Amino acid sequence: MKLHEYQGKEILRQFGVNVQEGRVAKTPDEVRQIARDYGDAVVVKAQVHVGGRGKAGGVKFSPTPDKAYENGEKILGMDIKGLTVNKVLVTRAVDIDAGVEYYIGMIVDRNVQSFTLMASAEGGVDIEEVAAETPEKIVHYRVDPITGLRPYEARAVAIQAGFKGNLNKIADMMVKLSQAALARDAVLVEINPLFVDASGTPLALDTKFEIDDNAMYRHKDLADWREMEAEHPLEIEASKYGFAYVKLDDGNVGVLGNGAGIVMTSLDVVNRAGAKPANFLDIGGGAKAEIVYNAVKLVSKDTDVKAIFINIFGGITRADEVAKGVIQALKDGILTKPVRMRIAGTAEEEAKALLAEVNSPLIQMYPNMFDAAAEAAKEANAASAAASTKTVENK
Ligand code: GDP
Ligand code: MN
């Protein structure tokens, strides 16, 4: 789960990190009020789950309360990389030119099977850019998850990164950042920029904080921070049904299967057949007709989907239950796109009999998954091609 800047800052504050003062606003009037309360220049900052807000026009320095109001008006409602800004953080501005901008962060690092602390004197800008162009400017240090980051290790990293200022204070901030990351099961915590003022004191101006979704049961106090509007509407609907569903970009074949492994395979098979999967959908083991019905309904709603590939290996899942669910969707007028299925195993013959009875060209069964996927891919691609010709004609 990705946190907003103001939420990540709240956690860092709880761990004793020196964080720039700020308050959240939802209207330009609130923005102006906060600026008046501070009696100082402020920065108005879009709260959306993407990086690079500054470059996208979502972070604006505001010298007066009226300017803050104006910037609030501009930023609230703004679209940043497909996300609408509903909230801004209004921070008490610092004089960046009177100090330096550094970077510190900690991530779960598969390569070292542990956490890696990163530090760079090249903060403020895109750290990804630094990593790509001048990787030697980022210090990497493996952190033991049992002991955590110890102060002497943090000081050594600060020195190696070439940090100037009060190195004890900066190292202390690294230790606190790592404590927050470990305690909150974070997969990523960054402070960028880490501003160090003329007296050498560090201050966190921005943070990215992401918590491992699989650890959310240990952080029930943060459950309210999960925001549904940030997810795809179909993913929200899928979570209501309890499906493991992921919407995929640029796809045209809806995919559903029983089990994560078979669905992953199905995505590969669709790709190999020359089309692109529009989603991942695992209906789980032992699904009854109603679950299949809901799954077909969900995938059919996706306007990207031009054909559906169903891949079931019947063990505890009965093929006839799958067939019943698909047939009911057809009868209810929900199913309007071709379904190409491979259902093998338990009750396969019963499923075949049920489908033969319905005898609809929209639902076809194939003896193996390659044939079913190839057919779905062919039809989806034909429909996509027809649709794109239509849009060209309309222009
Ligand atoms: P990001 O673009 O999403 O990473 O958002 P940041 O919070 O990092 O802000 C982008 C840039 O705005 C920073 O790199 C700073 O240069 C600048 N900035 C942020 N806070 C302040 C501030 O208090 N004063 C000044 N002068 N600039 C700031
Ligand atoms: Mn930043």
**Same domain flag for 37 and 107:** no
Residue of 206, 207, 208, 209 with the most ligand 1 atoms within 8 Å of its CB, for mutation: 206
Q: Are residues 378 and 274 in the same domain?
A: yes
Together in a domain, 10 and 44: no
Q: Which of 5, 30, 122, 190 is catalytic?
A: 190
Query: Do 135 and 82 belong together in one domain?
Result: no
pLDDT digits (tens, 9 = 90+) for 285-302: 888 999 999 999 999 999
End position of a domain, from candidates 173, 197, 230: 230
Among 42-46, 87-91, 124-128, 290-294, the least confident range: 124-128
Residues 191 and 289 in one domain: no
Q: For residue 44, which of 4, 92, 1 has the smallest C-alpha distance?
A: 92
For β-strands 22-25 and 88-92, DSSP reports them as: antiparallel
Residues 373 and 241 in one domain: yes
168 and 54 together in one domain: no
Q: State mean pLDDT over 257-264.
A: 95
> What mean pLDDT is predicted for residues 359-377?
95
Instruction: Answer yes or no: do 2 and 134 share one domain.
Output: yes
The pTM of this model reads 0.70
Tens of pLDDT, residue by residue over 56-95, are 999 999 999 999 999 999 999 999 877 889 999 999 999 9
**Rounded distance from Cα 46 to ligand 1 centre (Å):** 11
**Residues 73 and 41 sit within 8 Å (Cβ to Cβ):** no
At how many degrees (to 10) do helices 151-160 and 167-183 cross?
Answer: 120
pLDDT value for 395:
42
Question: For a pocket test of ligand 1, which of 94, 205, 209 has the largest count of ligand atoms closer than 8 A to its C-beta?
Answer: 205
Share of the chain above pLDDT 70, in %: 97
Give the DSSP per-residue string, 63-92: SSHHHHHHHHHHHTT-EETTEE---EEEEE
Residues near ion ligand 2 (Cβ under 5 Å): 192, 206
We report the CATH number of the domain holding residue 86 as 3.30.1490.20
Q: What is the DSSP string of 179-235?
A: HHHHHTTEEEEEEEEEEE-TTS-EEE--EEEEE-GGGGGG-GGGGGG--GGGS-HHH
Which among 35, 59, 93 is the end of a domain? 93
Domain total in the chain = 3
Q: Comparing C-alpha atoms, which of 342, 297, 280, 353 is closest to residue 317? A: 342
Known catalytic residue at 6: no
Is residue 303 annotated as involved in ligand binding?
no
Rounded to an integer, the average pLDDT of 113-126 is: 93
| Confidence grade of residue 231 (pLDDT, cut at 50, 70, 90) | low
46 and 147 in one domain?
A: no
Find the domain containing 39 and state its range: 21-93
Going from the Cα of 340 to the center of ligand 2, the distance in angstroms, rounded, reads 47
First vs last C-alpha separation in the chain: 41
